[in-house]
Amino acid sequence: SKLLTLAGMKPENIFMCDRKGVIHSGRDDLNQYKAMFAVDTDKRTFDDALDGADIFLGLSGPDMVTGEQIKKMAPNPIIFACANPVPEIMPEVVAESRPDAVMATGRSDYPNQVNNVLGFPFIFRGALDVRATAINEEMKLAAAKALANLAKEPVTKEVLDAYGVDSMEFGKEYIIPKATDSRLLGIVSTAVAQAAIDTGAAEGPLPANYPLKSLEDI
């Protein structure tokens, strides 16, 4: 709920779905894990949930969403279709059906790859370096904000060379840093370590070599 508040979202406007549709409080077939996400709503089907939605976040299976379904979403929707290797809806379908959408997948052969390597090594590094006793929501949020801020910085030559392009800048096709960006180490690890200190989760101070600047600091 803390993350939702920061994002300006209300829990009652976020709908989790499974194969039977919206996970709502009126269902009697929910296990203890799904019941945690049940909301009081009159929406019942996946189509209902997409109608007017600002965001679709998929972590399910291939080709589960159609172009006709996403046409019902709000203007300029955000579509993260993260099933691998085949996402819930292909970027080509989104481009044809909703050219105003911001699209991301878990694949490296399309723009905006949602790749866990952008976060987990550096979250652990920052936590370990200050001897954190937990990885809390503030630390994860600090990592997310660090990634978002890095995406707005000028892209380095090492990244451009790795992808064989002359330019790359923040926009619909570049909202997430690339995994080849060596700045991730310093920016994300330092943000996580500082968040651990600020929230009382750390048992030690920032090490003398912080902020980390290159792979040589590992």
Give per-residue pLDDT as tens, 96-121: 999 999 999 999 999 999 999 999 99
pLDDT for the residue numbered 41: 87
**Domain segments of the chain as ranges:** 2-105, 116-217
Confidence (pLDDT) at 214: 61
CA atoms within 13 A on the CB side of 92: 3
DSSP states of the chain: -HHHHHTT--GGG---EETTEE-BTT-S---HHHHTT-B--S--SHHHHHTT-SEEEE-S-TT-S-HHHHTTSPSS-EEEE--SSS-SS-HHHHHHH-TT-EEEES-TTSSSB--GGGTHHHHHHHHHHTTBS---HHHHHHHHHHHHHHHTSPPPHHHHHHHT-S---SBTTBSS--TT-THHHHHHHHHHHHHHHHTT-BSS---TTPSP-SGGG-
Mean pLDDT, rounded, for 48-69: 91
The pLDDT confidence band at residue 137, using thresholds 50, 70 and 90, is very high
Residue 16 pLDDT = 84
CB atoms within 10 A of CB 203: 11
CA 22 from chain center: how many Å? 22
- CATH for 2-105, among 3.40.50.720, 3.40.190.10, 3.40.50.300, 3.40.50.170? 3.40.50.720
pTM: 0.84
**Between 15 and 60, where is the model more confident?**
60
Tell me the percentage of the chain whose pLDDT exceeds 70: 91
Residue 2 has pLDDT above 50, yes or no: no
Percent of the chain's residues with pLDDT above 90: 67
Count of C-beta atoms within a 10 Å radius of residue 186: 20
Q: Is the pLDDT of residue 5 over 80?
A: no
Task: Indicate the pLDDT class of residue 3, thresholds 50, 70 and 90.
Answer: very low
Are 20 and 29 contacting, i.e. CB atoms less than 8 angstroms apart?
A: yes
Confidence of residue 15 (pLDDT cuts 50, 70, 90): confident
Residue 37, pLDDT score: 84
CATH 3.80.30.20 corresponds to the domain 116-217 = no
Q: Give the pLDDT confidence score for residue 1 in this predicted structure.
A: 46
Question: Between the CA of residue 147 and those of 135, 139, 179, 202, what are the distances in Å?
Answer: 17, 13, 11, 22
Of 44-58, 77-91, 148-162, the least confident:
44-58
Asked, colleague to colleague, whether 2-105 and 116-217 share their fold, the answer is yes
Residue 7 predicted with pLDDT over 80: no
Distance of alpha carbon 3 from alpha carbon 99, whole angstroms: 28
Residue 167 pLDDT class (50, 70, 90 cuts): very high
The per-residue pLDDT of the chain, averaged, comes to: 89
d(CA 54, CA 52) in angstroms, rounded, equals 7
